[in-house]
């Protein structure tokens, strides 16, 4: 899965730490998701969705290998 978190952050001038606080996870978790090390859980994906007011499909999308 790829995602647009970095861009959505940049549009708001938020750091990874800011976003982490907003969705109540650690900064390292945000970093790992942005870098594609793992996918968020479904509940966390919903938190991003609500925070950015975009559907999950607008934020996350399949990359090549799925």
What residue ranges bind a second copy (CB under 8 A)?
1, 39-43, 45-46, 49, 55-57, 60, 62, 66
Tokens of 53: 């007011």
The values of phi and psi at residue 37, to 5°, are -75, -30
Least distance from C-beta 61 to DNA, angstroms?
15
Tokens of 55: 């559907």
Residue 8 binds which entry of a second copy, DNA, none, with Cβ cut-offs from 5 to 8 Å by kind? none
Tokens of 58: 């607008």
Paired with 3 in beta bridges are 60
Q: Contact between 66 and DNA (CB under 7 A)?
A: no
Q: Contact between 51 and DNA (CB under 7 A)?
A: no
């Amino acid at each position: 899965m790829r995602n647009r978190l970095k861009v959505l952050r940049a549009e708001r001038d938020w750091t990874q730490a800011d976003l982490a606080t907003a969705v109540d996870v650690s900064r390292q978790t945000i970093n790992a998701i942005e870098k594609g090390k793992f996918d968020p859980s479904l509940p966390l994906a919903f938190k991003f969705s609500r925070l950015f007011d975009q559907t999950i499909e607008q934020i996350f999308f399949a990359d090549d290998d799925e």
